[in-house]
Amino acid sequence: MKIIDGKIDAPKGFFATGLHAGLKHTKKDLGIVLSEVPAQAAGVFTTNQVKAAPIYVTKEALSDGILQAIIVNSGFANACTGAIGLEDAKTTQQYLAEKLGIAADKIAVASTGVIGKVLPMKKIKAGIDVFNLNQSEPQAFHEAILTTDKATKEVAVTDVINGVEVTMAGVAKGSGMIHPNMATMLSFITTDAFISNDLVQEILSEKTEVTYNQITVDGDTSTNDMVLVLANGLAENPEIEKGTEAYQKFAAMLDYVSAELAKKIAKDGEGATKLIEVEVTGASDSLAARLIAKKVVGSSLVKTAMFGEDPNWGRIICAVGYAETLIDPNKIDMWIGQQQLLKQSQPQEFDQTIMKEILANETIKILIDLNVGTESGKAWGCDLTYKYVEINALYHT
Amino acid sequence: MKIIDGKIDAPKGFFATGLHAGLKHTKKDLGIVLSEVPAQAAGVFTTNQVKAAPIYVTKEALSDGILQAIIVNSGFANACTGAIGLEDAKTTQQYLAEKLGIAADKIAVASTGVIGKVLPMKKIKAGIDVFNLNQSEPQAFHEAILTTDKATKEVAVTDVINGVEVTMAGVAKGSGMIHPNMATMLSFITTDAFISNDLVQEILSEKTEVTYNQITVDGDTSTNDMVLVLANGLAENPEIEKGTEAYQKFAAMLDYVSAELAKKIAKDGEGATKLIEVEVTGASDSLAARLIAKKVVGSSLVKTAMFGEDPNWGRIICAVGYAETLIDPNKIDMWIGQQQLLKQSQPQEFDQTIMKEILANETIKILIDLNVGTESGKAWGCDLTYKYVEINALYHT
């Protein structure tokens, strides 16, 4: 696998653009991704019972496993907007279908922004009307999907599968409300690989568990989250079949792209100054390891300690203890960076100067060995800062 | 029931005092409560798998349902201190037994403070030696159990049970790490009622679910929490039996004392400026109602919105949606104070001026009607502020 400097249109046959339609004050707020041909598609969606209108509309569009385009707006979540919201999401789909000359049910719709306000459909129609389809401008799409994000988040890779070069690219937005089951997180992945939607769905569902669902910013799960993968087959590789080396390679690409996007989302959590990675090893099963890792990285006390650059292992072991999975409280080893803090749950002497340097970094790795089994898991989050409080307290509906 | 202005020694035959033993810089850090006679006792303890030494020692002391004294230190949690910690908790018990001339196994031990540091036993012994047993100084006990608390928390009530006046008093400490299952929360309740420990335990366990376990400050559950009730029978009321009016009255007293202490703990959460009360009605069962109420009051986004005095119902309904219990996302009514924000999940017009006044108060009540059943539940929490981040980021181990 090779990491390349590509955007969402890097795989063959993909086009993307974005513009300012007037949903936000001045920034880009409407974007599309389009494949030359209908693509095999897969998706995962928020588990929140209060779902935004585009979630319903996109799930329906995805029901036959084929998508050709995605339209995304930021500024308005189109959530808690009732029948009007559903109608608006369908109308958006219809407008874009007419603009692109493709079937409306091949178009996914995604929204992110304020809950409970009805979409300004005139602006959306006007925006769709003026999309320039002659020139792909992927950076404009990457920007159009952002809300409080400080930076665009993208990653692209290539690999040779069955003798043919296959490309995969992903873009995501995140920031606030990022938690377990994909909170106001949007992630779009394109690839020119030839693979069935069943297989893509299988791999996506599996990788979502260990990537997107293992990040947390503040524990809230949004109404609007979705991850979509479009595989248009234009690389013309022999079809990727289950149980083959090709399958493994494709799965590795999707794993890498998803993990990188997830980490970028965690690092750009609202107000964050640090990415925190927690790895739990020696667990009896991998689910338990992931659960504990996420409890630690989600603890407000651990998050503030990391902001304060304090090696507060007491808060860490406390979070390990209240994760709802069985541990042996007397067998825990713990490290921050290379410095061991706990051995068999007892405090160890460590080098304060080196620890200070470790905690001053932008990425902090916490390793917890439960010493009860052989399984492991990871989770990613960020520190809890004054800025987080400022962003979320000053924001007014 | 009558609310009285009493401290932990208000019921007949109780004595309390506290002093500065040098565990903290200048504040009081060691306190005792003593009953003239052995008391019927009940307790609930942290569910964290990493338990501090005093939890083990006190559970053992409580195994026969009889306690006569409680010793509490602040400054050191005596958690993650291994075999030494256990030995120290037992030695503390022994020192006090000698001082008081009672059996060591009638003494409960509680600690709160920094995790992982061994208790300075010389200071504790010296402190126990100089306790003045001639004069009850309950205020000194109330202060000695505090850590980052801004104020002491106490409540006392009396009622006439079977023709005899019975008194009950409670004191608590909380502040940081307050969550579901009683995080670094200590609560001690004394009463002169004559009632068996079995009944007290039954009522305490039941009331803990709807009071202490329904408060949250930051979602962390500590290693040291405990609630103890001592009933010494010196009111000389006819014994309180199950299924009687006397039982109901006693249960109501314990409910009131526990709920008031819980609310005081929530209100004094680290950095908090507001008490937030969430009531969920129209639920299919009371457990679901309590779960949803606690999810809402525990949401960082709701907490920051309350700090910012913004009626952000989108964040509230979002938290309702991700509580892991079934709701109908289209049927939710919501009020802040008397102002209705949502009807059947649709936004309602409300008076902005009145809402501003409501949100400026120190106590904010959020009412959520799920409209799917007849059960209800409450939870209490506080806002998330710059001060919370400051307290927890600047604190260094």
Span A344-358, mean pLDDT? 94
Q: Which of A108, A53, A44 is nearest to A77 (CA)?
A: A53
For chain A, what is the mean pLDDT? Answer: 92
> Minimum mean pLDDT among A286-290, B175-179, B252-256: which range?
B175-179
- Record: contact B220-A301, CB cut-off 8 A: yes
Q: What CA–CA distance (Å, rounded) separates A100 from A210? A: 36
ipTM score: 0.78
Q: What is the pLDDT of residues B76-86, one digit of tens each?
A: 999 988 899 99
Split at pLDDT 50, 70, 90, the class of A86 is: very high
Span B114-128, mean pLDDT? 94
Smallest Cα distance from B132 to chain A, Å:
35
- Record: contact B384-A389, CB cut-off 8 A: yes
Alpha helices in chain A (DSSP H): 53-61, 82-100, 121-130, 138-144, 197-210, 245-267, 286-298, 300-307, 313-322, 352-360, 386-394
User: Partners of B110 in the beta sheet?
Assistant: B72
Q: What CA–CA distance (Å, rounded) separates B373 from A253? A: 48
Q: What is the pLDDT of residues A7-17, one digit of tens each?
A: 999 999 999 99
Residue A184 among the catalytic residues: yes
- The more confidently predicted of residues A182 and A21 is A21
User: Of A212, A239, A267, which closes a domain?
Assistant: A267
| Interface test with chain B among A51, A56, A80, by most B beta carbons within 10 Å | A80
- The more confidently predicted of residues A216 and B97 is B97
On chain A, the residues whose CB falls within 8 A of the CB of B322 are: 47-49, 181, 220-221
Is the Cβ of B184 closer than 8 Å to some Cβ of chain A? no
Same domain (yes/no): B194, B160: yes
> Minimum mean pLDDT among A275-284, B218-227, B273-282: which range?
B218-227
Residues 6+ away with beta carbon under 8 Å from A213: A180, A181, A182
Split at pLDDT 50, 70, 90, the class of A85 is: very high
Residue A177 clears pLDDT 60, i.e. is over it: no
Same domain (yes/no): A387, A335: yes
Q: What is the CATH number of the domain that holds B333?
A: 3.10.20.340
- Record: contact A310-B116, CB cut-off 8 A: no
Q: What CA–CA distance (Å, rounded) separates B40 from B34? A: 13
User: Do the annotations mark residue A397 as ligand-binding?
Assistant: yes
Q: Left if phi > 0, otherwise alpha if psi is -120 to 50, otherwise beta: which for B315?
A: alpha
- Which span out of B61-70, B268-277, B292-301 was modeled with the highest average pLDDT? B61-70
> Minimum mean pLDDT among A305-314, B124-133, B181-190, B230-239: which range?
B181-190
User: Do the annotations mark residue A184 as ligand-binding?
Assistant: yes
Q: Which of A207, A211, A213, A145 is nearest to A179 (CA)?
A: A213
User: Of B225, B249, B267, which closes a domain?
Assistant: B267
Q: Report pLDDT for B180.
A: 31
Residue A292: both structure tokens together: 């504990």
Residues 6+ away with beta carbon under 8 Å from A122: none
User: Of A245, A267, A289, which closes a domain?
Assistant: A267
Span B44-48, mean pLDDT? 89
Catalytic residue among A81, A184, A191, A211: A184
Residue A179 clears pLDDT 70, i.e. is over it: no
Domain count within chain B: 2
Residue A272: both structure tokens together: 């964050």
What is the percentage of chain B residues whose pLDDT exceeds 70?
A: 96
Same domain (yes/no): A259, A302: no
Split at pLDDT 50, 70, 90, the class of B182 is: very low
Split at pLDDT 50, 70, 90, the class of A180 is: very low
User: Partners of A189 in the beta sheet?
Assistant: A170, A229
Q: Report pLDDT for A176.
A: 57
Span B139-146, mean pLDDT? 97
Q: What is the pLDDT of residues B311-355, one digit of tens each?
A: 989 889 988 988 878 899 999 999 999 999 999 998 999 999 999
Same domain (yes/no): B279, B254: no
Same domain (yes/no): B105, B215: yes
- Record: contact A317-B82, CB cut-off 8 A: no
Q: Could you say which of B310, B326, B394 has the minimum Cβ distance to residue A308?
A: B394
- Which residue of chain A has the CA closest to B299? A220
Same domain (yes/no): A327, A219: no
Same domain (yes/no): B280, B191: no
Same domain (yes/no): A100, A16: yes
Q: Which of B298, B292, B307 is nearest to B360 (CA)?
A: B307
Q: What is the pLDDT of residues B161-180, one digit of tens each?
A: 999 999 999 999 986 544 43
On chain B, the residues whose CB falls within 8 A of the CB of A382 are: none
Give kind and range of the element (H or E) at residue B267: helix B245-267
On chain B, the residues whose CB falls within 8 A of the CB of A390 are: 386
Q: What CA–CA distance (Å, rounded) separates B298 from B383? A: 9
Q: What is the CATH number of the domain that holds B175?
A: 3.60.70.12
For chain B, what is the mean pLDDT? Answer: 92
Q: What is the pLDDT of residues A143-154, one digit of tens each?
A: 999 988 888 999
Span A53-59, mean pLDDT? 97
Split at pLDDT 50, 70, 90, the class of B396 is: low
Q: Report pLDDT for B181.
A: 34
Q: What CA–CA distance (Å, rounded) separates A286 from A282? A: 9
Q: Report pLDDT for A270.
A: 79
Same domain (yes/no): A28, A175: yes
Residue A71 clears pLDDT 80, i.e. is over it: yes
Q: What is the pLDDT of residues A206-246, one digit of tens each?
A: 999 999 989 876 656 678 889 999 999 999 999 999 999 99
Same domain (yes/no): A179, A323: no
Same domain (yes/no): A170, A284: no
Split at pLDDT 50, 70, 90, the class of A24 is: very high
> Minimum mean pLDDT among A111-120, A311-320, B169-178, B189-198: which range?
B169-178
Same domain (yes/no): B57, B151: yes
Span B143-169, mean pLDDT? 95
On chain A, the residues whose CB falls within 8 A of the CB of B330 are: 82
Q: Report pLDDT for B394.
A: 76
User: Do the annotations mark residue B273 as ligand-binding?
Assistant: no
Residues 6+ away with beta carbon under 8 Å from A189: A168, A169, A170, A227, A228, A229, A230, A254, A257, A258
Residues of chain B numbered 102-121 and touching chain A (CB < 8 Å)? 114-116
Q: What is the pLDDT of residues B349-375, one digit of tens each?
A: 999 999 999 999 999 999 999 999 999
* Parent domain of A291: 275-394
Q: What CA–CA distance (Å, rounded) separates A113 from A120? A: 13
Q: Report pLDDT for A150.
A: 83
Catalytic residue among B112, B184, B190, B191: B184
